Amino acid sequence: MPEAVIELKQVSKRYGRGDRAVTALQELNLSVPKGSLYGLLGPNGAGKTTCLRILATLLAPDSGSVRVAGLDALADPRGVRERLGYVAQEVALDKILSGRELLQLQGSLYHLPNGERDRRIAELSGLLGMEAWIDRRSGTYSGGMRRRLDLAAGLLHRPAVLVLDEPTVGLDIESRAAIWQVLHQLRDSGTTVLLSSHYLEEVDALADRLAILDGGRVIAEGSPTELKTALGGDRVTLRVREFSDEPEALRVQALLQGCAGVRQVVVNRSQGYSLNLVVEHDGVIEQLRRQLAEAQLPVFALAQSRPSLDDVYLQATGRTLMDAELAVAGSRDPKAERKQAMR
């Protein structure tokens, strides 16, 4: 393994106090190899944004150590900021200024000489395909344009490490593909890229290695291929009736859990109480059909596929990423979130 350019050891972070305290990170350990494109995958609320804000020195952890590009981020936050580019999930632009003017302002904040700043803006404008609109007011930009400009701002000072929080959320396919291409080019040129996402296909397509977060902890880590291969079988999704309910799904779950060749069986509530399982070989499918028919639960729909990163998450947590997203959405306290955002 190459040397680590990002290291978090036993990092914990809580928001609030007393009974209403929320744990965002629980003794998180993370090591990102130099020159890699590394992904953080997990549902909203898994701790991804908190982790990235700590790396960017915008938050201090309650405990643990953080090192970025050879520096102690807690002892030398200014040094870390000189070596790190951070692109937050929310893009905030002055709608009156043009893209070029915003980048010139960013360059001044980094104390770049005017000549170097302007050369770098021209370089990034070409890299990100911004030449045709960089001198227009940013208030006229589409979401994809704003995202590219924000990425340019994070790259202006040539950081050794680029940290991105959900870099393509809400973007169209064309804009997403353009940003993917730029991230690959940055990795190939030696920049270490760390990105968070809850898009399975994005992390699968981009990341050399990834860590899956759940509840503020790393529950799986490795390359996408390693993690999927470790499951040792195919994914099967099945339903026994067109309109299943939870009691029936739980009954089928109990029946299938005793079948030879069947790995963990999980009820997928986000898809009409279907069941997700991993089977060790093709012969298990016919065995399942027979047992369900004998129990007067004939298969209504069945799909078989190669394992995905969602299956890795399912195996580790007992639920899909979609179910985890729905659980977080259902437990949110809008008033508490607004108070936290104002702090």
The tens place of each residue's pLDDT in the chain, 343 residues long, gives 678 999 999 999 999 988 889 999 999 999 999 999 999 998 888 999 999 999 999 999 999 999 999 999 999 999 999 999 999 987 778 899 999 999 999 999 999 999 999 999 999 999 999 999 999 999 999 988 999 999 999 999 999 999 999 988 888 888 888 899 999 999 999 999 999 988 888 999 999 999 999 999 999 999 999 998 888 788 888 888 766 788 888 888 998 888 888 877 888 877 778 888 888 877 888 888 888 888 888 888 888 888 888 888 877 777 777 777 766 665 555 444 444 444 4
Beta-strand relationship, 37-41 and 192-197? parallel
Percent of the chain as helix, strand, coil, to the nearest 5? 40, 25, 30
Sheet order of strands, 84-87 included: 84-87, 161-165, 192-197, 37-41, 209-214, 217-222
CA distance 129 to 62: 41
* Fold classification of 4-222 (topology level): Rossmann fold (3.40.50)
Residue 185, CB-side half-sphere exposure with 13 Å CA sphere: 10
Nearest to 167 by CA among 91, 223, 68: 91
Task: Give ranges for CATH 3.40.50.300 in the chain.
Answer: 4-222
What the block records as the tokens of 82 is 């000189």
Using alpha carbons only, how large is the chain's radius of gyration in Å? 23
| The pLDDT of residue 18 | 84
189, 191, 167: which is closest to 178 by C-alpha? Answer: 167
Maximum Cα–Cα distance across the chain: 78
**Phi, psi (degrees; rounded to nearest 5) at 63:** -160, 165
Dig out the tokens for 293 from the structure.
């028919």
| CATH number attached to the domain at 232-306 | 3.30.70.100
What stretch(es) of the chain map to CATH 3.30.70.100?
Answer: 232-306
Q: Which amino acid belongs to residue 64?
A: G
Helices 321-331 and 309-317: angle between axes, nearest 10 degrees: 60
Instruction: Record the pTM.
Output: 0.82
| Residues near 88 by beta carbon (within 8 Å), at least 6 away in sequence | 150, 165
